[in-house]
């Protein structure tokens, strides 16, 4: 099986779960090999190359490691999304309050930081700020769930 994008993953997992030994081939290793024009001829060509021992299987970690990697990537996405809301929130609240919070991380004076954080607070901005805060809190809750070990992975959906 040729690994292109993420389309191979479900098929690979189904075949592996049914006890078949699947040889996953890196697409970069066979892209310059001549002799195929369609998916069917490509598949037959890969099968032939494998049968004569010319293909090397790519590393595929065990299922448990794949699960941890998937959760780690998901957690990274949650952190990124929460960070986007934090950046929106940080440019909106009272400048003096924010300036007091960053005393240990920023070398500039509180007044300089406060001046750089001044803004125009219209109702639509406050509304968007309120939604960003709610979204940030939601992502924080999701992060707690991913790190608690009490996930619903083992429960039926």
User: Residues 46-59: pLDDT tens digits?
Assistant: 888 888 888 888 88
In a shared domain, residues 39 and 103: no
In eight-state DSSP terms, residue 22 is -
CB neighbourhood size of 111 (10 A):
11
Joined together, the tokens standing for residue 96 give: 């003096």
Whole-angstrom Cα distance, residue 151 to residue 74? 13
Model pLDDT for residues 7-66, shown as the tens digit of each residue = 888 998 899 899 998 888 887 777 766 666 677 777 788 888 888 888 888 888 888 998
> Is the pLDDT confidence value at 150 over 70?
no
What's the Cα-to-Cα distance from 16 to each of 8, 12, 56, rounded to whole Å?
Answer: 12, 6, 18
Do the domain assignments include residue 153? no
Number of domains in the chain: 2
Residue 9 near residue 1 (C-beta atoms within 8 A): no
In a shared domain, residues 117 and 86: yes
In a shared domain, residues 47 and 74: no
| End-to-end Cα, the chain, rounded Å | 30
Do the domain assignments include residue 137? yes
In a shared domain, residues 80 and 107: yes
Joined together, the tokens standing for residue 49 give: 């190359």
The answer for residues whose C-beta is within 8 angstroms of residue 109's C-beta and 6 or more apart is none
Model pLDDT for residues 96-147, shown as the tens digit of each residue = 777 777 766 778 888 888 888 777 778 888 898 899 999 999 999 999 998 7
Do the domain assignments include residue 142? yes
Joined together, the tokens standing for residue 76 give: 């990274």
In a shared domain, residues 25 and 85: no
In a shared domain, residues 73 and 133: yes
In a shared domain, residues 114 and 84: yes
> Is the pLDDT confidence value at 156 over 80?
no
Angle between helix axes 63-90 and 123-147 (nearest 10 degrees) is 160
- Which domain does 110 fall in, by range? 69-147
Whole-angstrom Cα distance, residue 74 to residue 65? 14
């Amino acid at each position: 099986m040729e690994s292109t994008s993420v389309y191979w993953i479900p098929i690979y997992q189904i075949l592996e779960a049914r006890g078949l030994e699947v040889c996953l081939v890196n697409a970069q290793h066979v892209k310059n090999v001549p002799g195929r024009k369609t998916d069917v001829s490509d598949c037959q060509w890969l099968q032939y190359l494998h049968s004569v021992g010319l293909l090397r299987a790519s590393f595929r970690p065990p299922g448990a490691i794949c699960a941890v990697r998937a959760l780690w990537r998901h957690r990274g996405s949650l952190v990124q999304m929460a960070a986007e809301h934090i950046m929106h929130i940080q440019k909106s609240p009272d400048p003096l309050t924010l300036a007091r919070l960053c005393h240990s991380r920023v070398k500039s004076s509180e007044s300089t930081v406060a001046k750089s954080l001044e803004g125009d607070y219209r109702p639509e901005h406050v509304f968007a700020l309120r939604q960003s805060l709610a979204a940030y809190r939601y992502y924080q809750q999701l992060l707690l769930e991913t790190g608690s070990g009490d996930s619903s992975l083992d429960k039926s959906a």
